[in-house]
Amino acid sequence: NSHLLLCCPQLPNSSNHEKLFYHSISSPTPPSSIFSQTMAIPSLPLLLLLLVPSLTLLSPTESKLTLDYYNKTCPQFYDIIQQIITAKQISAPSTAAATVRLFFHDCMVEGCDASVLISSNSFNTGERDADINLSLPGDAFDLVTRAKTALELQCPGIVSCADILAVAARDLVTMVGGPYYNVQLGRKDGLVSRASEVEGNVARPNMSMTHIITLFDSKGFTVQELVALAGAHTIGFSHCSQFSNRIFNFSKTSDYDPTYNPKFAEGLRKLCANYKNDTSMSAFNDPITPNKFDNMYFLNLQRGLGLLASDQAMVSDPRTKVYVDLYAGNQSAFFQAFAHAMEKVSVYKIKTEGNGEVRRRCDAFNSINT
């Protein structure tokens, strides 16, 4: 029997182990057993056509990025990053998903410039304090802070926070089983971070698929790239508040969204019964292999195990379903498409010397007047 893992992960900076609720999809028995979690370490021509992402010419700023940007100025860059993320992922297995999410939320607003890392002050409310970003896990912020501190000791004033976040996201995807992809380096950290600019730039779980497709299209991303990027939900978790409308009082005729697998919905209703009083209650985005980056997320969508409304919408909408079905049946196709899409995200609206800086601290601009 396949087993669902409905989770209540630790809150950022919590010392508690994540807890897993094991629930057999074929059994009427509700989730009951709690265990401590440890890290879990078409024709060829047609397939190739489906895999090729839309190609865009590099802008002048993007062309300044290189793979070997720090080879001379900070030759220890990759080793330091690898040491930091390995230690962090082992101590907090939710770090991989947290960092990928943080990276994406950063890039979609103002570009990949570490603007989401800026702390708010009495003069400005930063992106990280926008409503949709309040649930960004603390482990990802902590990871970037640790890496920046270590790099400043070895190469002061050289490595940008934007590059740290981009490389950390890539390395963590690879560490939990996902594809490797190139990350060009040389981004500078942005000089603007406003919470008011976040809304409308990051997709919400309750948006219609048409709205989400339009949002991604406005940033130059295709429907195929949208679906591939959504595959990052193969790791990580979502708070009950993000899908509670699907499992409680859904309609006059059904307590829960009938597109859910009934056993899955039953488990979620029990798991999230007290979510209004305990806002930390959460569920794995992928209840089958929650800590492994694979194509199980797409298989889950076909089985009624899509956690968020936006997840389920992808298998219901014919514009996205074709790619859901492709990736569900071919993990290699998903990995290649995801890698291409992440490379494209990583150079979105980057900053260079003329409109950015290398911050001394990732959570603050270098100048108080910025």
pLDDT band for position 74 (50/70/90)? Answer: very high
Flag whether 255 is marked binding: no
Mean pLDDT throughout 81-87? Answer: 98
Question: Does 57 have pLDDT greater than 80?
Answer: no
Flag whether 38 is marked binding: no
pLDDT band for position 354 (50/70/90)? Answer: confident
Active site residue 105: yes
Mean pLDDT throughout 137-145? Answer: 97
Question: Does 239 have pLDDT greater than 50?
Answer: yes
pLDDT band for position 368 (50/70/90)? Answer: confident
pLDDT band for position 185 (50/70/90)? Answer: very high
Of the CA atoms within 13 Å of residue 253, those in its CB half-sphere come to: 1
Flag whether 178 is marked binding: no
Question: Does 222 have pLDDT greater than 70?
Answer: yes
Q: What does pTM read for this prediction?
A: 0.83
Question: Does 361 have pLDDT greater than 90?
Answer: yes
161-175 helix and 95-108 helix, angle to the nearest 10 degrees: 140
Question: Does 343 have pLDDT greater than 50?
Answer: yes
Question: 75 φ, ψ to 5°?
Answer: -60, -20
Flag whether 294 is marked binding: yes
Flag whether 189 is marked binding: no
Three-class secondary structure of residue 154 per DSSP: helix
What was the pLDDT predicted at 64? 85
End-to-end CA gap in the chain? 57
Q: Are 186 and 163 in contact (CB under 8 A)?
A: yes
Read off the tokens for 26.
Answer: 């074929």
How far is the C-alpha of 363 from the C-alpha of 178, rounded, in Å?
Answer: 29
Give the model confidence (pLDDT) of 157-172 as tens digits: 999 999 999 999 999 9
Flag whether 289 is marked binding: yes
Flag whether 222 is marked binding: no
Mean pLDDT throughout 148-154? Answer: 98
Please pick, among 3, 17, 23, 105, the residue that the annotation labels catalytic.
105
Q: Are 360 and 331 in contact (CB under 8 A)?
A: no
Flag whether 210 is marked binding: no
Domains plus CATH for the chain?
3-44+209-333 (1.10.420.10), 57-204+345-355 (1.10.520.10)
Q: Which residues pair with 113 in a beta bridge?
A: none
pLDDT band for position 5 (50/70/90)? Answer: low
Read off the tokens for 80.
Answer: 């330091």
Instruction: Count the neighbouring beta carbons within 10 Å of the beta carbon of residue 272.
Output: 22
Mean pLDDT throughout 269-286? Answer: 95
What was the pLDDT predicted at 7? 56
Flag whether 231 is marked binding: no
State the chain's mean pLDDT as an integer. Answer: 87
**Which conformational region is residue 349 in: left (phi greater than 0), alpha (psi within -120 to 50 degrees), or beta?**
left
131: buried, middle or exposed (CB in 10 Å: 19+, 13-18, 0-12)? exposed
What was the pLDDT predicted at 47? 42
